[in-house]
Amino acid sequence: MTKLGMSSRYTYSHGALIHFNVVQSLVSLILVISPLYAFSQTIEQKMLDIGLVRVRDYAPKVMVDLKYNSTDNFVGVDMYGGLNDAYLRPHMAERLRKAQVILEREYSPDYRIIIYDAARPLSAQRRMYDLVKGTPLKVYVASPHRGGRHNYGVAVDLSIWDLSQGEPLDMGGDFDQFDAVSHVGQEDRLVRTGKISAAAQKNRQMLYSVMRRVGLVPYRREWWHYEQPESMSEVRRQYPLLDF
């Protein structure tokens, strides 16, 4: 009886210890996640307050995979901390809606625009700029002093996702691949030199064509980056900076 009693007491105390450790771990996890969730909620509300819209409210079929909301990006750092949706100025979201319609009707019902980045808070721009300062990658990141197009909600990084294959179309290079392979208008040479395939060239031309038809043009160094053909001075005159 004595041994059984001791064993029971040990089992109880050991179980209680496991229970305590589990609770402690859950509490720690909540303490880590809660600030990130609160941050993302605050940022999303600020996006709306400044006049941006959630892209999927305009274009429900558009997919979103924000690369700076993870470590799957060129700096390997989560810049957004839980921001899961893409936000843009209303007219930009409407252009993406039209682009999605063209893709489905004229190319394939399995094609979806997938957004990798959209409106970017200036706080994230500062972090990004600090990480590339003094490196060759600096030329690809706008200075946070006045901000770039992403910081005004008028630029979007995207590609085309093929539902039938469960992956994006081959564009010859990855998103955020900052080298000559990503440059726009060099596709003939890239194919000749074996840098990209003919299929990738065809996919890029399709993307360029669809986006131009809805009034968006690619940035010359990034096949994935689209914006309106207007100067930065015009952008700064018309839209507020996402200074948060």
Q: What's the pLDDT at 89?
A: 98
User: CB of 67 within 8 A of CB of 117?
Assistant: yes
If DSSP codes are grouped into helix, strand and coil, which group holds residue 159?
strand
Encoded tokens for 46: 């600020």
- Which amino acid, 222? E
Q: What's the pLDDT at 36?
A: 44
Question: What are the structural domains, with CATH classification, of the chain?
Answer: 50-238 (3.30.1380.10)
- Which amino acid, 168? P
Cα 227 to Cα 155: distance, rounded to the nearest angstrom: 5
User: CB of 176 within 8 A of CB of 135?
Assistant: no
Q: What's the pLDDT at 86?
A: 98
Could you read off the pLDDT tens digit of each residue along the chain, which spans 244 residues? 444 443 433 344 445 444 445 445 444 444 434 444 445 568 999 999 999 999 999 999 999 999 999 999 999 999 998 899 999 999 999 999 999 999 999 999 999 999 999 999 999 999 999 999 999 999 899 999 999 999 999 999 999 999 999 999 999 999 999 999 999 999 999 999 999 999 999 999 999 999 999 999 999 999 999 999 999 999 999 999 999 9
Nearest to 43 by CA among 89, 93, 86: 86
| Whole-prediction pTM | 0.83
Query: 44: exposed, middle or buried (C-beta count within 10 Å: 0-12, 13-18, 19+)?
Result: middle
User: CB of 183 within 8 A of CB of 196?
Assistant: no
* Spatial CB neighbours of 121, under 8 Å, sequence gap ≥ 6: 43, 46, 151, 242, 244
Q: What's the pLDDT at 2?
A: 40
